[in-house]
Amino acid sequence: MLVALLAVLLGIAVLAVAADQFVIGAARVALIKNVPSLVVGVVIIGFGTSAPEILVSALAALDDQPDVAVGNIIGSNIANLSLLLGIGALIVPLAVDSRTVRREALMVVGAVALFGIFVQGGGVNRVEGIILLVAMAAALYVITRTQTGDPLGPETAEFADATHHRFGPEVGRTVIGLVFTVASGRLLLWGALDLADRAGLSAGFVGATLVSIGTSLPELVTVIQSARRSETDLMVGNLLGSNLFNALAAGGVVGLIGAPRFDDTSLTTIAATAAVVVAVAATVSMRTGLRVTRVEGGLLALAYVVIVPLLA
């Protein structure tokens, strides 16, 4: 058990650093190549912070662990818009001025609900996986339509700070970050499954809690960095974008892999419903007064603490 615990801790630590470097490198490469900063904020950073969820869920599905794959996606979605959004709002009240972010919030509710509906049968099949991926492409098209003067763009450019960096080294940063993200994700998954087996916990519960918290660390890093710089639109947009990629891209990949069905009602009913409720609550918080207050942030973080025991 000690070896498995060390594997989990090492996997989480390396994953947090590697995924963060992957996000920064990819964002800088895109900005250096003159990709619009708004697109970088929505697509590059959103995908980058979701890379651990996509990779770990894909690995779990390939290992015939569909409950871990689904649990990781749902658990990460719950954590992002309750625990992490709550932490961000407790650090600094989150003003949501970006029209792009407000539009994205509504799409996230729909995406999380669609994924939740698909998993009711015990997983996602290939047809459903294709539907999720098509929905992902459609959502990105709608979100990235030109938004002149949207504050998400300048905040993204400031966060990535690509002005004084060269293309070659940033490509290297991106590739190395991705390699270590994959390796640490594999280590985290192995350790978590071994711990679950030894402790008598369901694989789905471990996926929705321990694994999902580990794969959500890149979002936490971005939350803290953005909060310290008062880049609140970027912070909220990053969490929403991560959930969008989790539900549609990671869910679509798991469906295409064609993992076997599973029977875990704590995931297919309780967790899936909780993810939708959290997404709705977070969206309401963002759109009432166009900010998430510290009180709302505290309530969202508390909601995570309440939800986790229900998943056991």
Helix intervals (H) in the chain: 2-32, 37-39, 45-62, 66-79, 85-91, 99-118, 126-143, 152-160, 167-199, 203-206, 212-215, 217-228, 232-244, 251-257, 265, 272-287, 294-310
Domain of 18 in residue numbering reads as 2-310
The domain that holds 10 is classified in CATH as 1.20.1420.30
pLDDT, one tens digit per residue, over 196-244 is 888 788 888 888 888 998 888 878 887 887 777 778 888 888 899 899 9
pTM for the model: 0.90
Cβ neighbour number for residue 232 with a 10 Å cutoff: 25
Q: Which residues are bridge partners to 291 per DSSP?
A: 95
Say if residues 140 and 42 touch (Cβ distance below 8 Å). yes
CB 156 within 8 A of CB 36: no
**Predicted confidence (pLDDT) per residue in 272-305, tens digit:** 999 999 999 999 988 887 888 999 999 999 999 9
Q: What would the two tokens of residue 291 be?
A: 């900010």
137-161: average pLDDT: 79
Instruction: Count Cβ atoms below 10 Å from residue 127 Cβ, excluding itself.
Output: 11
Longest dimension (CA), the chain: 54
